[in-house]
Chains A and B, each alone.
Chain A
Amino acid sequence: MIYFSTFSQSEGLTNSPYSLYGLGTINQTTLGRYNSMGYTGIGQKSTTDINNLNAANFALIQKGTFLYDVGLRGNYNTYENYNDLESKAYFNFSNLAFAFPLGNKGGMGITLLPYTDVGYTLIGKQNNIEGSTDTYESNVDGLGGLTDFKLNFGYALLPSLRLGVSASLLFGNIEQTESFSLESSAFTQEKSTNYSGFKIGTGLQWDITKNTTLGSTINFPVNLNGNQITNTIKIVDNAEVAVQEDEKSKVNGFTLPMELGLGISTVFKNNWTLNVDYKKNYWEQTNQSEFLGSYIDQDVFGVGLAYKKEGRNLNYGQRIAFRTGYTYDTGNLRVGGNSINGQQFTFGIGLPTSYRSGSMVNLSYAYGTRGKIDNSLIKENYHMLTLNLSLLDNWFLRRKIN
Chain B
Amino acid sequence: MRFITSCIVLLTAILISCSSDSYNSSDFVAGEGFTNSNLKVITFDTLTLKTSTVKLDSFVTGDASRILVGSYTDPIFGTVTASSYFELEPESYILDHDAVYDSITISLKLDGYFYNDTTLTQKIEIRELLESVVPTEDYFYNTSSIAYSSNQILGTLSFTPRPLQKDSISTRLNDSLGLNLFERIKEKSITDQAGFRDYFKGMVLLAPEQDNSCILGYAKDAGALTVQLHYTQEDEDNTVTYTLDFNLSAYGSTTPFFNAITSTYNLESLTAITSQEQEVVDSITENKTFVHSGLGLATKFSLPTIKSLDDIEGSGSLLSANLKFYPSAQDHTNNLPLNDSLSVYLVDRKNVILNQLTSASSSAIYAVLNKVDSEFNNTYYEADISTFADLLYTTTDYTDYGLLFLPPNNNSTVDRNILTGSNALVNPAKITINYTIYQND
Contact = CB atoms under 8 A, between A and B. Distances in A.
Given A140-B35, A234-B317, A236-B319, A17 B40 contact: no
Interface in B284-317: 317
Contacts of A84: 27-30
Contacts of B19: 13, 91-93
Contacts of B4: 353, 357, 359, 389, 391, 393
A9 B30 contact: no
Interface of A is mostly: strand
Nearest to B384: A237
A376 interface: yes
Contacts of B23: 12, 143
Contacts of A91: 14, 18-19
B18 A10 contact: no
A232 interface: yes
A209 interface: no
Given A127-B37, A359-B4, A389-B11, A86 B42 contact: no
B24 A13 contact: yes
Given A183-B434, A187-B319, A389-B11, A12 B1 contact: no
Interface string B2-22: 011001100110110011111
B12 A130 contact: no
A55 to B, nearest CB: 25
A88 interface: yes
Given A13-B19, A292-B34, A353-B4, A131 B43 contact: yes
A389 B20 CA distance: 21
Nearest to B4: A391
A185 B386 CA distance: 9
B386 A93 contact: no
B438 interface: yes
B26 A86 contact: yes
Interface string B359-396: 11100000000000000000000001011001000000
A11 interface: yes
Nearest to B22: A12
A387 B11 CA distance: 9
Given A143-B21, A243-B317, A376 B37 contact: no
B41 A72 contact: no
A302 B57 CA distance: 88
Per DSSP, chain B at the interface is mixed
A191 B39 CA distance: 12
A193 B44 CA distance: 33
A347 interface: no
Given A189-B438, A244-B438, A123 B28 contact: yes
B392 to A, nearest CB: 13
A283 interface: no
Nearest to A359: B4
A129 B33 contact: no
Given A121-B25, A126-B32, A187 B37 contact: no
Contacts of A244: 438-439
B317 A187 contact: yes
B183 to A, nearest CB: 65
Contacts of B36: 291
Interface residues of B, number: 51
Contact of A238 (B12, B14, B359, B436): B359
B29 A124 contact: yes
A294 interface: no
B31 interface: yes
Contact of A182 (B1, B7, B11, B320): B320
Contact of A178 (B33, B37, B42): B37
Nearest to B363: A238
Contacts of B360: 236-239
Interface in A202-246: 230, 232, 234, 236-239, 241, 243-244
A354 interface: yes
A398 interface: yes
B8 A236 contact: no
B318 interface: yes
A229 B24 CA distance: 21
B44 A243 contact: no
B38 interface: yes
Contact of A122 (B15, B28, B390, B436): B28
A340 to B, nearest CB: 12
Given A3-B28, A70-B8, A138 B39 contact: yes
Given A91-B19, A398-B1, A123 B27 contact: yes
Contacts of A140: 35, 37
Nearest to B434: A182
Given A70-B11, A130-B41, A132-B43, A185 B319 contact: yes
A236 B386 contact: yes
A83 B31 CA distance: 8
Nearest to A179: B39
Interface of B: 1, 3-4, 7-8, 11-12, 14-15, 18-44, 317-320, 359-361, 384, 386-387, 390, 434, 436, 438-439
Given A70-B8, A353-B7, A398-B1, 14 more contacts: A17-B34, A70-B12, A83-B29, A84-B27, A84-B28, A120-B24, A121-B24, A123-B29, A143-B24, A176-B38, A182-B41, A184-B386, A376-B34, A378-B31
